[in-house]
Every structure is written in structure tokens, then in C-alpha cells.
Structure 1
Amino acid sequence: MISVDFERRAPIPFYLSVGLVAGSIIALQIAIMRVFSVGSWAHFGSLVVSLAMFGFGLTSAVMCVGKGWFERHWQGAVKTALLLFGPLMVGCNLIAQQVPFNAIFLISDPMQKWRLFANFVLYFLPFLAGALYLGIVFLKAQKTFNRVYFADMAGSGLCGLSVLLALYVFTPDNIIMAPLLLWMAGGVLWFVSMRDRRGIVALVVVALLTGLAHYVLPPALGIPTLAVSDYKGVAYARKFPDSKRTYERASPFGYMEIYSSSYLHFAPGLSDNAAFNLKKMPANAYLGLYLDSDGPQGIIKDLPEDEVAYFRYLPMYYPYVLKQKPDTFVVQFGGGISTAVALKEGSEHVTVAEGNPAILTAFREDKGLRAFTGDILNNPKVSVVDYDGRLYLAHTKNRYDVIDLSLADSAGLSSPGGFAIVEKYAYTREAMAAYMRALKPGGILSVTLWNKEEPPKSVLKLYATMAAAARDVDGADISKDFYVAAAYLSTATVLYKRGGFSADEIARLNEHTRAMSFDEIYYPGIRVDTTPLAQTLQDYRDQYFYAGPPPDPTAPKDDKAAPASGADEPHDKPPPELAQASDAPGTPPAPLVPATTMGRLAWHYLVHGGWQQVADDYVFDTHMLTNHQPYFAAYIKVKDLLKFLDRLELVQDEWGYLLIWATLGIATIFAFTLVLFPVIFGWRTIFSHNPGKFGTMIYFLCLGLGYITVEVGMISHFVLALSNATVSASVLITGMLVFSGLGSFVSERYFDRARRVMPRIFLAIFVLLAVYAFAIDYALDWIGTLPYLLRIALCLLLILPPAFLMGFPMPTAMTTLSRLGKEHMFLWAWGVNGCFSVIGAALVPIVATSFGLPAVVLVGAVAYLVALPAFFSVLKPLGGKRLAAA
């Protein structure tokens, strides 16, 4: 092995190696996210990646204290890190799949916490090896950090994009091969640059053995390559005796599977009366469509004429009670049930929108699926819009008799213990207003949502959202515009009519509702008794926070034999006694359950005023969805978080949101521990002689926090145009890293003028991000209507200006520390940046759900503004030594 002149002109293979190995680290993060999305739940993948990134923090802390040892043994350390990185990523992933962790039992089974911890440790190890490689490279090339940082950033970005393409090639159980191949290429180039032939041979042999182990060991040992939780939707389908997978496709738009089984009875919101009134129930009527193991989304077969009456017992039939031969628009195709209902109920034409190209490809190209559905997408009455329906309706001049958005989110909006933060732009206030404006006079918007929660949560958010949207379109009086029906623990359907419902139409809808044995929640003229409001709100709170009856003040204080009062344990107070039925005309029958009462009360106050006070007193957060806060999840109010800590078993479907708070706490503790570790153990020998320590920490803290919040926040924004979180993440990460890498490369030209140039850079970043925070949505809405490749190109162009400028601060400061002789501070600063990047990633969903996506970008903007004065601490010379940049 030869010595490379890192400070003057390192060979091209060296920079390519840095880019590819850094890219393999990014690719590994994406691969882990895919594995956890398919195998369990995405937020656990995010948590593992966040903790694994502390590999960078731990590496910098150790290298800062042991800098001398690493400088003497850097060649052996790099070689060891490289040779271990690939086997660790494959081996640890394979072992992690054998750890029987299940989020559902996180509270009830103490072993689950240890199994979750085992996942953390296993996924931490490969990142530690990758971080060690990059840390040593940065240490040796610190005088030319700008160039190395450019290779790091550009390589990471381009490799992230390559993983997007790899998702077409590798199924989730084999996606780990993408980072493995990048690592192998980067490792070979490293040894080429070192002219180490033995190293090349060793790495190639290790890579081949590692790949072979991934494919050979699981079948040989009878173990899964990717373990899917028993509580994921697809796990149930696979266990049906006659289950058969009829379709499979991997793509960036999700791992899509379709199963057939006689046990698969999707029947979304089907009235119980169907079984009594229909002469013949459709047999084997459904296929189950699963995306990333979640579902099913029901695919209904092409029913013969003697079975079409079945559709009338589904909630999406409601608009056809009033509309004959309508021109219909289906906002989201999904599994095609709404489209099938529209066609069978006499629609003259149906326009269908679907933002997931993988779904359209399956229904258009798979012969079995086309035969099962009657080739529904090639029906001459059907036109297809290959992007989000909400974007089409916001820009089209076409108007429709019926617009339908029904059950577009598989079996629910929030799986148990599942996705805490998922953008639902199709349900926002802006989207609903666009749907309403796209109706013809007298046209009907029908929105059907799963209503499986008691107390109700998502449906209350939907009600508030649609009421606000109607006021945006029609003004203050919306009393005649809505009709709402629901089935307990099944579905809720909201009908909005442009111009309001007539008395005859209300009578026809009520007749249908009663024939289906659904509950009438709201209709114009309904009379609602508001006296149960206070008791209903209190009883819902008592279900979670009731602490038992107050102690008897007359009871003996020293009676040790008396049973515990129960003050230390939560008690579920029973629901209120239900009122007797009223015979007053226009008054609905007595509710059967408190949820029905709550729904009626909600609509009464939404229509007639006073809803905000009701929402403030309600046990869960029910604020409306907007494009800035497009989340059905995160129902627990922040002020109640601590109250739920001793009763988590009562809110299992909120663990994803609670876990984000836990991640933030864990990240903060570990970050400060790793940041202060070198300070405590190296104060006398290292830090006491370095001026500007506190300012330097603030500077790199702000860079880490600011960059990651902008990056993650923009991913959520870009879903508006790209309609898919995985594609949005890949495109955004690629753009951010590549353009920031270019900024890093260009920043070297301005190094000698850093004192004058950098304040302007920081101010420009702040202004750009502040504008993007509130204005970018308008551009993305327009971009989302264009062909997909053009959308990607324009999104990349959109992120270029801020990302390019955000590439200046980090390399400028790191190079300054190196040239001033602050080599220990150089390593420490890198760790500070990494640790607070993880804090920023954990902070983003909390800020987004609490204050909105613009607030996330503004946090990043403010972080860069705070970094401006802190930059001058970085410029402070060491012991009188002064740099030109200072």
C-alpha cells in the first residue's frame, strides 16, 4: 500500500471511492426503511436509521480523543472498516429479521423492548464501520476538505437515485444488495487508489461470499430473509388455506402484491342487510391488493347483471340514489371498487385518477387482473388521469355530476402501531374545496372514510375539514349542503351537494339509509339534542383519565386492610346512559352508541357554530387537515402526552406518534452525551487551548439541525407533486446532496474571502427558505399535473438554489478549522453536525403535526440565520495564529 498525497492531488479513484462508499451508506438507510416498511412499520425503520446515524457521532467522539492513534494506524483502520462494512450490513440485517420483535406488544411484553434494542444495535454496527471509513478519510484530507466533501455529497446523492432505480430490480427482501454493490465498487476503487492488489482481492472475495451468504443461508437454514409481522395485512392473506399470489411487482412506488382466496371478503362498509335481502351474494368477489404489506385494497370482480344489486349495499352507492346517468369523477382508483360501482349504476362516463403508476400498470397489463375486473381501465366509458385527482380537479375546467373519494386508504388511515406521520393530501381543506368547485350545479361530492375508532378520531377531522372547505366555496351558511350517514365501527359517508339538498332528496336519502340500517348523522333539518354534549365529552376523557371515585373523607386513615382506592390506577368509566327515543318530528332515533351521538353533535356545532370550543374540550386532536398539516394521525394532544405514559395500552394505535417523541428524547440524550464526551475527557489537552468552543458548537449544531430539517421537510412538500413518499425522498435527497456537493466544490474559490462572503450566503439561505416555506406548494401543485419524468426534473431544478448555497457553510468552516491547526476541533465539529442532524430528523414530524410543514422549513431557515454570528467563532485563531480567511 502506498501513501496518497491527500493535501495536494489525490487520485480520481480516491474521490470515486469516497462517493461510492458514502453513497452505500445512504443506500443502506433507504434499504432499511424499505425493509421496515414492508416487514413491520415505517417509523421503526426511521428510528433505527436515526440511531444508526449516531455511528458518525460515536466515531467522531472516539477519533477526537484518540486522534494520535488513528493518525498512526489509519491505513489498517480504513482497511478493516471497509472489509467489515459489507458483511455487517448483510449479516446484521439477516440476524435482525430473526429477532421476533412486534410493535403491537411493546407495552405488554417486556421482552419486546429488548428485541427493539437488539434491532438498534444490529443496525448500528454497519453504520459504525461506514462512519469510521469516512472519518479517517476526512481526517487525512482535512486540508482539502471541500473536494472530499463534494465527493461525499455528490456520491451520496447520485447513489441515492440509483437505489430508486434498484427498487425496480430488487424485491424488498433483496434490496440490501443495492448498498452491497455500491460498497464493493467503492472498496475496490479505494484499494486501486492505494495500489493495494491484495486489498482488491480480499475485498472482492469478501463481497462475493457476503452476497452468496445472503441468498444461500436463509433457505439452507429455513429462516426468512425478510420477516413480515403477523399483524401486517398481507400476513393474514398468506395464511388463508387457499391463498394464492396472483401478481407481484417491486418498484419505487411500493412492493405490490395481489392475492386471491375464498376467505377474502373485503366488503367495504357493506350493509348487514345485504345477506338478508339479496337472493344471491357474489362468490369469490374480491382480490386483495397489498402495498408494502399493508391492505387490503379490495379489487372487485366484474359482476354479472343478476348480482349488480350487491353494489346498492355499499356506501359508495349513495350519490346514485339521486343521480341517474351522471358524468362521474373518481379521485383515486385504488382497487377500482368506486369505478365499478359508477359504471354498474349507469354513469355515462367515468374519469378515473390514480397517482401510483404501479397500480395503473397492473390493471392495464396483467391478463389475469384484466379478466377478473372486466378490463375496467380499458372500458370505453372510462378515461384515466395518471396523476393525483386532487391536482386534476384543481386545474381542470371540466365539471362533474358526481365526484367520489371512497376508502382510498386500504383498511384504515392508521394501522395499529403503524404509520404515525403519513401525508394525506387528498383529504385536505384545499383538496375538498377543489372537489366542490369542480361539481356541476346540483352535483354531489361523496367521501367515504373508515370509521373504526371509538372514540371517533379521523372522521371528526374529516367532518371539520369538509365543513371548512364548504364555507370557502359557498359562504357561511352550509346548513343545506351536507348529508352524512355512518355504520358503527365500519364506515362514514359525507355527501356534499352544490346548491344544497331539497326536501325530496333528503327523504330519499333517509329512506335508503334506513333500508341499509345505517345511522343518520346529519341532514338539513335534523334536530339534535345538545344536552348530552358535556357528559359525552367528559365520559370520553374519563375512558382514559378516570382515576376512580374520590376517597371517602370519613374512612379510617390507618385501615391497612381496606382495599386500595384505585387512585393510582386508571379506570375505564362506562359510557353514559343513552337517552330515550324522542317522537318529535325531524328528530333522529336515540343513538345506539356514544360515537353516533358525538358525530351528530359535531355536525350540529360545525354547521351552526361553536365547534372550536367542542374541539378544545374533546379528548383527542380533531383539527382540520390542510396542505400545511395533511395528517389524520397524531391525535394525542401535546398537553396530554405525559398523562398517557402510564396507560399506553389504551392508545395502541398512537404508539407511532408517541415513538417520535421518544426518538426525540433518546436522540437528544445521546447527542449531548457524544458531543460532551470528547470535551470531558480531553478538556485539558485539547479544548482548553481552543478559542471559540461554544460558538463553534452552536455553528455546527445549527448546520446539522438546519440541513436535515429542510431536507426532511421538503420531502413531505414534494409528495404534493410526486405523489409517493419513496420517490419524493429519493429525488429530494439526490437533489439536495448533489447540489450541496457542487456548492461545496465552488466554495473553495471564496475561502480567502469567507469573512465577507459567508454572511451574505447565510442571509440568502434564510430568505430563500422563508419564501419556499409558504410559496413552494403553489409551484408543486402545478408541477404535479405534468408527465412524471418532467415532474422529477422540475423538482430537482426547484431545490437547486437553496441546496447549492447550503453546500457552502460546512466545508468552509471545516477547512478553516484544519488550516488554523484545530484538528481535534475538526473531528469534534463533524460529530456535532451528525448528532444534531439526528435530533433534527426526530424534530421534523413533531413540528409538522403541531405547527405545519412551513414551520419545519422555517426552523431550518432560522438555524442558518443563527449560524451567521456563530461563524466568527470558527474563525478565531489558535494561539495567535491567523488565517487569511479571518
Structure 2
Amino acid sequence: MNLIPLFLISLAAVGYETALTRYFAVAKWSEYGYWVISIVMVGFALSGVVLALWRDGFARRAPALMAALPACLVVAAAAGYHFTTTNPFNPLQLQNPATWQPQIWNIAGYYAALLPFFFLAGLFISLSFVRNADHIGRVYAFDLTGAGAGAAGVLAAMFLVHAFYLVPLLLLPLGLAALFMRGPYRLRAVLAAVLALGVSEAVLLLDNEATYNDFKAIYAPLHTPDAKVVATITSPRGDYTVLDDFTERVDTDISNNAGMMGIEGPPRSYGLYRDGNRIAALPSQPGAPDSAYAAAALDALPYMLIPHARVLLAGASGGFRVAEVAHLGAARIRALEPEPVLSGILRHGVGPVMPLAGQAGVQVSGSPPLAGLGRGKYDIIDLSADFLDAAETNATAFSREAIVAYLKALAPGGLVSIPVSIRDFPVYALRMLATVRAALLAAGIDDPAAHVVVYRSAWNVRILIARDGWTAARIDAAKKFCDDRSFDLAWYPGMNVVQARANIYNDLPAVSFDKGEVESGGPDDAIADEAEAVLSGRASPSVAQFNLSPITLDRPFFYAVLRLDHLGTILKRLEILPQAEVGALVNLAVLAQAVVIAVLVLLVPLAVPGRIRSPRAGLVRAVVYFPALALGFLFIEIYLIEKASFWLADRTNGFALVLTGMLVFSGLGSLLSERLADRPRHFVALAVLVVLGWCAAAAVFLQPVMLATLDWPFLARTGLLLALVAPVSVALGLPFPLGLSQTGSTGFLPWAWGLNGAFSVVATPLANLIAREAGFTWVLFCAAILYGIALVTFPAMRKFSAWHDIPAPSAVGE
């Protein structure tokens, strides 16, 4: 039995899936990478259905078919990627009522281009199961470990290869699979693969159409006169570009009165883009960045209230924020920059950008805020305005638990300063206020409204939290600061909102999301209208239209204000939705499609007479058992990826370690299943009990352990993570092959494989939506329920038709 081709094709399939996800993140928006997961699993599910319906014919022709598949996969992968890169899909037009219909056809074009590859890959894997039905555990082990190697390999390749050129690299293991074939078709398989490789690599390398779409932030500045790319960094975390053009400046909120104050605006800079999205400004001059504008900036108020402060700064903003805080008179600065590439630029520079100059009293750390508080006390804990969008895991710094930790780290009289952008929706500020209220209550403060001041410009809000409450003198100083700079106070203790309307500098009228109308009779402040109610825990008008539940470590979704139970209203307002909110709608669309596909995969083989023959009780059990395993496995994987991303302060490392670890250790569990096949029900029960016990322990102990070890060295946290992943993954690797070993009836094995794939399509969007609406703990709870269901539906049925009626496998690799 030669399973090396299976290993290589599984490796390439997962690598291709990852490479396509990266393509969408760079060329389009990362949210549309959900389609890739959907297409992958649809292809696998369809292959299982086709093989279930025509099992015997495929089995008889398996040697020739499997020998031809590597070359076919090379061509399908190359053609699929080429047509993906030439697809004119534009997400902005999808959100426009006048232009959305052609984009539906473009989405269908992605499916048409990519589905053939994943169907053929699924067919090779399904045939490997069918042809080696007496060694299912070993086949599944090679499939899983190959997938794990593919995930790890493509992530390693991203350090050297740009996202647009990953697919040509992944054609090599597909061609190599032909070299390991055995039997009479081996020579023809190798020659076909070599020819396919040569033509496909030439097409992809000489005519690579991948590029940034014109709606990406980098597109316009990249195409200005004399624009230059002065440095690039290729990384699994993203593809970074340092851009020099005349439009690049420090992106900070400066007073309209800066000229009257004798203060110049922000200086020119380089722009740092990740996957085409701008994440920071970088100094274009050697030495300390120019920070003369700092006193006119929105975020300067805390430093006016507390001179010579000891500061914890979350986000260095390419070094500019450190220079600003120093210019404002801070006595000591601890700057945290957990985004690894940004942190590396601060220390070592990149291209023409020099490292951040050493300054007395300034310490720079790569720790995230919850790990970087240290043992000292701070007068000001300040989150930079661009910190949230600099890295996906930075959203946890805005959670209730994080704010509680900041309050504990403050010295008497200290302040926490939290930024919120209101360029898209002012309601983000209200949701942040609800989070602040929850944190203050958790910290033992009974009257949150007395500890909060909110002030704003036309585009941004700052929320200041005073550990010991606000004095009249500090409130008066805040009023003067805002009046001098034409900023507006949206809330302070004792504020009369009605009287304040007479002196509004930046009109912010309330807008009804339901009606799509401005609701204002004059100068207004929509945040001031609701701030007191939110801070006091009373219902406010926005609660009826938006989700204002606090951000927590279990629900770390800052951009999740849409109420999905108002889907009709959301679709009517699609053209005004922020890009960050679109992901939830893509999830819903993929879920709806996935449910339809899962039902078809379930019913079509049953509708064809004689294809799935089994005692009724055994059939019903199996129909529940395999989907439950598919959903439960993916739920645990998604839960672990989220927790690992927070624990390691990096989504890329969290994703890579969890995915690779789970696949490899599950593969070991599957390999172990062959030794346990004599008592399958007993060992499935044991495996499920391990999974249930692990879920219970994770729900209770994982978050406290993570918080207690956040400041441990990276390798120590990595070791703990793998120790956490290993036991449950070994247990997760047992139920699927042990269940398959009991379902030897005609057509059932490939159908069970198809069911697993179809319900895996359902799992990803469903888990993401559960996490968004209820939290990741509920995802884990649902996984435990699903494995409990699998335990009581184990398909212990007699083999209605043995597999020995299939022609014996030849020496071809399967």
C-alpha cells in the first residue's frame, strides 16, 4: 500500500486553499476568503457523492484514473488560479443596489474556476479510502498529516514568496505525486505531470494577472506621480509595502485651529501598507520624528491634565506616537507594539526608514497590552488611534477585561484614554461606552458615568476614564482644551446635553439606520444624546438598531454592531456598511449556501435506488454521526485558533500552530485507530469522553491560564499551546476512521466522506456566527454537544455488502 501520493495531494490541496485565502486578503478583502473554504468543502462533498453513486465503475478504473489525476490537478490548479486573478469581482459594486447583479455572476465565476481542482482532489482522497477500506485509519492518517504539512509548508513559504506567487510553488507537490505512483501507468503519469507542470508554470509565471483591486487603500497613492515602493516585507502575517509619495502624512486628528495656535500640520511620512491596507506612517527623516503638531491633536488632552506623566502607550504608530507623547512632556514612556513587523521596524528599520532613535525614559516592547502592564503604576494608559487596525488581535485591548486591568495598573488620579473612529458609524463610540461601563462595574465602581469624559472631533472620539472620578477642575480644563481646538465634549459628569447643543463645533446629527434618514433639527451631537443612558445602563435609541453589548475576550469583535435579526434593514442599507461589517453578511451567505449543499449531499444518494443499502437504524445513526463529527471537529479548531491568536498575540502563529498541530496529532490518532478496530464502540466512547472532559476543562481554566502566562517567553507559550492541542487532537482522530470501519455497505464509505465534507462547509460560517452572537465559549459548548450526539449515534451496523467485491488494488499509489 503506497500512500505517499495521497500525502502529497492532501498537502497541495490545503496549501492551495491557504494560498487562495491569502490572494483574497491581498487583492480583495480578507472576508471574501470564506468563499475559498466553501469551495474546498463543496468540491470534497461532491466527490464523495459522485463516488457513492458510481462506486464500482470508479473502483474498477481506479489505477488508470488515479495515475492521471496528478497531471489533471496541476492543470486544474493553474487554470483555476489564472481565472481567479482575471475575475473582475468588485466588493464595492456588490454593495451598490445599482451594480450588484453582475457581481453575483463574478462570484459564480470563482466557483466555476476553483471547484474542479477541489473536486478532483476530493476524488483522489475518496478513491484512496475506497481502495484501502481495510486500512481506513492509515489512509486517514496520511490524509490528515499531509494536510498538516501543507498548512505548515505554505506558511513557511510566505516568508520568501509573495502571496501572488504561492500557487506556482504548490504545483510542484502535485506533479511529484505522479513520481511516486506504482504500476503499469506510472511512466505515463510522470510524463503527463511533467508536461502539465511545464505549461502551467509558464502560464502562471509569465502571465500572472494578480494585482491590487482599485478599491484597496494602496491603489490610489501607488498610482500618484513619482510614487515609489521603497521597501517590501514578505511574511505569513501579510505582504508589507513601504510607499513614498506626496500624499503620505501622519494620520492623526488635528484641530482646525492649529494655524491660529501657531502649530503646523503633521509632517510628510512614508506609508506602511499590509495587504494593501494602510496600518501606519513611518518617519521619512532620520532622527526623532517631527512631533511639533502634538499639542493640537485630539489625543493630547490627558497630557494637559497630567503633566510629566508615567505613560503606558499601546501602539507606537511607527514611532510618531512615541515622539508625540514625549513632546507633550511625559516623564517616562513604555510603548507596546505587538504587531511583529511594526515592532521589528521600530528596532531595526526597513529600507530607508531608520530605527526609532533611543531616548531617555522611553522603553519599547513587543508585548500586547494585557501582557505589557508590568508591575509599575502609570498615570496615563493610552491606546493609539491606529492601534485597533494595526493587527487583528489588537481588538482584545478594547475588551472589558483589558480595561479592568488598565484600571488596576493606574496610579491615583490616573487616566485611561481610548480612541474610537466614528467615520463610518458613531454607534461604535456608544458600544465602547457600554464596554467601559461593564469594566467599571467589574472593577467595583458603582457609578460609571462619574468616571468618564467623552470628547470628539468630526471624525474621532476619545473616551477618558478617571480611576478616581472627575473633579470640577479637571472638567473645566477639558472644556478649555476643547474650546481652544474646536473639539466637542460629548459627555462629562453633570453635563446638560440640551444646553451644550448651542456651542457645538462639529455637527453630528443622529441618523436612523432603519429609515435611512437624518433626524436633526439643528446642531446636534448623536453621541451626547445617548452617552448618559448607555453609561447608566438604560436603553437608548441605538439599542433598537444596533448591538451595543460589551466587547469581551470571549466576544472580541469590535466591528460587530449590526443586528443580524434585522437582516432586511441591513440589506437595504448595504451601500453604507463599513467594510469591516461585511464579513458577517458573507458568513450568512456562505452558511445559507452550505446548508443547501449539505442537504443535497445527504439526500441525492438516498434518492438513487440501490446505492446506499443499509439497515434503517444503522443508516439513521450514520447520517447523524458523520455530520456531528464534522461540525464538532471544526468548532474545536475554530475555538482553539481564536484562543491561540490571543495567547500568542499573533493570528498567523496561532492559526499555523493550531491547524498543523490538530491535523498532525489527529493523524496519529487515526493511525492508532487501526490497532483499536476490534472494539470500535468502546474506543469511540473513550475518545468522546476525553473530548468532553477537555472541553469542560478548557471552558473553566483556559482563559485564567492564558492571562497568567501572557508575559511568558513566546516559546514557552507555544509549548503550552501544543500540550493543550495534542491530547484532544489524538482523541479527535479516532471517531471518524472507527465509524467508517463500521459502514462497509455499498456506496456508504464515500458518501460518509462526502457528508463530512458537506457539513464542514456548514461548520466554519456557523461557528463564526455563534461566536459573534454568543461568544467562543458557546462554540466550545456546541462542540461538546455534537460529540455527545456522535457518541450515542455511533453507526455500529453490520456490513451489508463487503468491500472485497471491488477489484483488488494494484500497485498504483492510492
Q: TM-score, normalization: structure 1?
A: 0.85
Match for 1:469: what amino acid? A
Deviation at 1:266, TM superposition (A): 4.1
State whether structure 2 residue 497 is matched by structure 1 residue 517.
no
Given the alignment of the two structures, is residue 215 of structure 1 paired with residue 142 of structure 2, yes or no?
no
Q: Are the aligned partners of 1:433 and 1:473 in contact in 2 as well (CA < 8 Å)? A: yes
The equivalences for 1:126-141 within 5 A come to 126-141=117-132
The unaligned stretches of length 5 or more in structure 1 are: 1-9, 219-223, 414-420, 533-538, 547-571, 579-591, 882-886
Separation in 2 of the partners of 1:867 and 1:777? 27
Q: Distance in 2 between matches of 1:304 and 1:212?
A: 47
Distance in 2 separating the partners of 1:74 and 1:760 = 36
Superposed CA offset, 1:738-775 (max 9, x none):
11111111122221122323223222212211321343
After superposition, residues 25-104 of structure 1 pair within 5 angstroms as: 25-104=13-92
Q: 1:376 aligns with which of 341, 356, 371?
A: 356
**Is the 1:484–1:493 Cα contact (8 Å) retained in structure 2?**
yes
TM-superposed CA distance for 1:367, in Å, is 5.7
**CA gap 1:307/1:853 in 2 versus in 1, 3 angstroms:** closer
The Cα offsets for residues 752-804 of structure 1, whole Å up to 9 and x where unpaired, read as 12232322322221221132134322223344323333333321221111111
Q: Which residue does the alignment assign to 1:221?
A: none
Q: Using the alignment, how far apart are the partners of 2:267 and 2:500 within structure 1? A: 47
Query: For the residues of structure 2 that align with 1:42 and 1:242, how far apart are their CA atoms?
Result: 29
One-letter amino acid of the structure 1 residue matched with residue 143 of structure 2: D
Q: Conserved in 1, the CA contact under 8 Å of 2:319 and 2:346?
A: no
Q: Which residue of 2 aligns with 1:446?
A: 417
Higher mean C-alpha displacement, 38-47 vs 343-352: 343-352
Shift of 1:381: 3.2
Contact 1:32 1:49 in 2 (8 A): no
Displacement of 1:423 = 7.3
Q: Are residues 1:662 and 2:581 paired?
A: no
Give 1:235 shift.
1.2
Paired amino acid for 2:436:
M
Q: Tell me the equivalent position of 2:155.
A: 164
Q: CA deviation at 1:160?
A: 1.0
Question: Which SS does the other structure have where 1:424 is aligned?
Answer: helix
1:671 aligns with 2:598: yes
Instruction: Say which is worse superposed, 325-334 or 133-142, in terms of deviation.
Output: 325-334
Runs of 4+ with >6 A deviation: 302-307, 410-413, 539-542
Deviation for aligned residue 1:826: 0.8
* Bigger mean CA offset, 156-165 vs 521-530: 521-530
> Alignment partner for residue 744 of structure 1, among 640, 655, 670?
670
Give the alignment's Cα RMSD to 1 decimal. 2.7
In the alignment, structure 1 residue 842 sits paired with structure 2 residue 786: no
Question: Which residue number in structure 2 is paired with residue 200 of structure 1?
Answer: 190
Contact 2:12 2:150 in 1 (8 A): yes
> Which whole-Å CA distance do the structure 1 matches of 2:394 and 2:674 have between them?
39
Q: Indicate conservation of the 8 Å contact 1:81/1:129, yes or no.
A: yes
Out of 529, 553, 577, the position equivalent to 1:601 is: 529
Q: What is residue 239 of structure 2 aligned with on the other side?
A: 255
1:174 positional shift: 1.0
Q: Does the 8 Å CA contact 2:6/2:143 hold for their aligned counterparts?
A: yes
> d(CA) in 1 for partners of 2:326 and 2:78?
49
Provide closer, same or farther for how the CA distance between residues 744 and 688 of structure 1 changes in structure 2, counting only shifts above 3 A: closer
1:879/1:183 Cα in 2 relative to 1: closer, same or farther (>3 Å)?
closer
Match of 1:376, SS?
coil
Does residue 400 (structure 1) correspond to residue 378 (structure 2)? The answer is yes
Between 1 and 2, higher relative CO (CA 8 Å, sep ≥ 6) is seen in 2
Residue of structure 2 equivalent to 1:434: 405
Q: Which region of structure 1 is more displaced relative to structure 2, 833-842 or 316-325? A: 316-325
Aligned counterparts of 1:105 and 1:692: Cα–Cα separation in 2: 49
Mapping of 1:247-646 within 5 angstroms?
247-278=231-262, 280-281=264-265, 283-284=267-268, 286-300=269-283, 308-366=291-349, 368-371=351-354, 375-376=355-356, 378-393=358-373, 396-409=374-387, 424-454=395-425, 456-488=426-458, 490-529=459-498, 543-546=512-515, 572-578=516-522, 592-593=523-524, 596=525, 598-607=526-535, 609-611=536-538, 613-614=539-540, 617-646=543-572
Q: 1:255 to 1:376 in 2, by over 3 A?
A: same
Question: C-alpha distance in 1, partners of 2:287/2:634?
Answer: 54
Q: Match for 1:17: what amino acid?
A: P
Residue 504 (structure 1) shift:
1.9
CA shift, 1:123, in A, is: 1.9
Q: How does 1:14-25 map to 2 (within 5 A)?
A: 14-25=2-13
> Would you say how many aligned residue pairs link Structure 1 and Structure 2?
793
Q: What is the CA distance between 1:624 and its match in structure 2?
A: 0.9
Aligned pair partner of 1:728 in 647, 654, 659: 654
Structure 1 residues 667 and 810: CA distance shift in structure 2, 3 A: same
Q: What is the CA–CA distance in structure 1 between the aligned matches of 2:311 and 2:409, rounded to whole Å?
A: 11
Q: Given that residues 23 and 163 in structure 2 are in contact (C-alpha distance below 8 angstroms), is that contact kept between their aligned partners in structure 1?
A: yes
Q: Does 1:789 align with 2:715?
A: yes
Which of 782, 788, 797 lines up with 1:859 in the alignment? 782
Distance 1:577 1:176 in 2: 57
Q: CA 1:721–1:652 in 2, change beyond 3 Å: closer, same or farther?
A: closer
C-alpha displacement at 1:276, in angstroms? Answer: 4.2
In the TM superposition, residue 687 of structure 1 has moved relative to its aligned partner by 3.0
1:391–1:875: structure 2 CA closer, same or farther, 3 Å change rule? farther
Q: Which amino acid aligns with 2:519?
A: P
Q: How much does 1:63 deviate?
A: 0.7
Whole-angstrom distance in 1 between the partners of 2:313 and 2:572: 44
Mark the CA change 1:615 to 1:736 in structure 2 (over 3 Å): closer, same or farther. farther
Deviations 1:354-410 (Å, cap 9, x if unpaired)? 222222222322365544xxx4264343222222122222xx212112211022347
Q: State the SS of the aligned residue for 2:424.
A: coil
Q: What is the CA deviation profile of residues 580-615 of structure 1, one whole-angstrom value per residue up to 9, with x for unaligned ones?
A: xxxxxxxxxxxx33xx2x3223331244x243x227
Out of 150-159 and 698-707, give the one that drifted further.
150-159
What is the rounded CA distance, in whole Å, between the counterparts of 2:139 and 2:327 in structure 1? 63
Q: Is the 8 A contact 1:541 1:619 kept in 2?
A: no
Distance 1:320 1:540, change over 3 A: closer
Q: CA deviation at 1:487?
A: 1.1
8 Å Cα contact 2:455-2:461 kept in structure 1? yes
Deviation for aligned residue 1:838: 0.8
| Contact residue 614 and residue 800 of structure 2 kept, 8 A | no
Is the alpha carbon distance of 1:274 and 1:148 closer, same or farther for their aligned partners in structure 2, counting shifts above 3 Å?
A: same
Q: Note if contact 1:720-1:781 (Cα within 8 Å) is conserved in structure 2.
A: no
SS of 2:88's equivalent in the other structure is: coil
| Structure 2 unmatched ranges of 5 or more | 502-507, 804-814
Q: Is the 8 A contact 1:483 1:495 kept in 2?
A: yes
AA partner of residue 267 (structure 1): D
Contact 2:179–2:186 (8 Å) recurs in 1: no
Aligned-residue offset at 1:194: 7.3
8 Å Cα contact 1:36/1:45 also seen in 2: yes
Deviation at 1:518, TM superposition (A): 0.8
Percent sequence identity over aligned pairs: 24
Shift of 1:211: 2.3
- Preserved contact between residue 400 and residue 439 of structure 1 (Cα < 8 Å): yes
Q: Which AA in structure 1 matches 2:747?
A: H
Given that 1:328 and 1:350 are in contact with CA atoms closer than 8 Å, whether structure 2 keeps it comes out as yes
Post-superposition Cα deviations, 1:45-73, rounded to whole Å, max 9, x if no partner, equal 11232123211111111111111110111
Distance between the aligned counterparts of 2:450 and 2:141, measured in 1? 61
TM-score by length of 2: 0.92
In the alignment, what sits opposite 1:878?
Answer: 800
Deviation per CA, 1:165-221: give whole Å up to 9, x if none. Answer: 1110111111223432332333422x2587823423432342243223221123xxx
